[in-house]
Amino acid sequence: MIRRIAVAVLLLPTLALAQRGGRTQADRKTPLFDKEEMPKGPTLRVRDIEDQSPLKLLIDKRKDLKLSDAQVTQLKDSETKLKDTNAPLLKAVDSLIRELRNGVASPNDQSRIKAREARSGLMDVLKELNGTYDTPVKDVLTQLDPEQQSKAKELLEKQKQDGDKMLREKLSGGGERP
């Protein structure tokens, strides 16, 4: 008798849930994965641009490159100077991204024209940033031995390809072009 009561107490909640016919947790709408809730504009952030710094990559991969402490110190000094140089450009990127998002979100033609101009300006600033990344890297590469240089060049080439892909994806805003 006690056994039947124990089984009933354990099975009743399970049966009640099965009989509910309601939605389960898996059926509920989740905004994170809902395609209707995808952003309608660029998802690019300034941090994404900062992460494309080749000096940052070389510092992060210092063990793979087998860099000495002196080389790492030199890289960090160069990175600090580069950050100071790029600060105004990164502020410009931030404001252009904001302007681009506002223009894409707005339905009128005037906003779309502003968004197109912001996109053009953003591309110009990004080219300028890439130019500022090139000079310190060339200086640093000359300080490395041939083995380190070849490994560093491979890493930098892969970063450039990945960075270009990331820019295309993040500027398209989830498949929509402004």
72-122: pLDDT as tens digits: 999 999 999 999 999 999 999 999 888 888 877 777 888 888 888 888 898
The rounded distance, in Å, linking the Cα atoms of 100 and 172 is 11
Flag whether the pTM goes above 0.85: no
Q: Judge whether 34 lies within some domain.
A: no
Q: Judge whether 20 lies within some domain.
A: no
3-class DSSP state for residue 13?
A: helix
The whole domain housing 64 covers 43-172
The rounded distance, in Å, linking the Cα atoms of 2 and 87 is 75
pLDDT tens, residue by residue, 27-63 = 666 666 555 555 566 788 889 989 889 999 999 999 9
Q: Judge whether 30 lies within some domain.
A: no
Look-up of token digits 């580069």: 82
**pLDDT score recorded for residue 16:** 65
Number of domains comprising the chain: 1
Q: Judge whether 178 lies within some domain.
A: no
7/129: higher pLDDT:
129
Q: Judge whether 32 lies within some domain.
A: no
Q: Tell me, rounded to whole angstroms, the distance of Cα 169 from its chain centroid.
A: 10
> Residue 102 in contact with residue 118, Cβ under 8 Å?
no
The pair of three-digit structure tokens given for residue 169, joined into one six-digit string:
């994806």
Q: Judge whether 9 lies within some domain.
A: no
Q: Judge whether 102 lies within some domain.
A: yes
pLDDT cut 90: percent of the chain above it:
34
Q: Judge whether 10 lies within some domain.
A: no
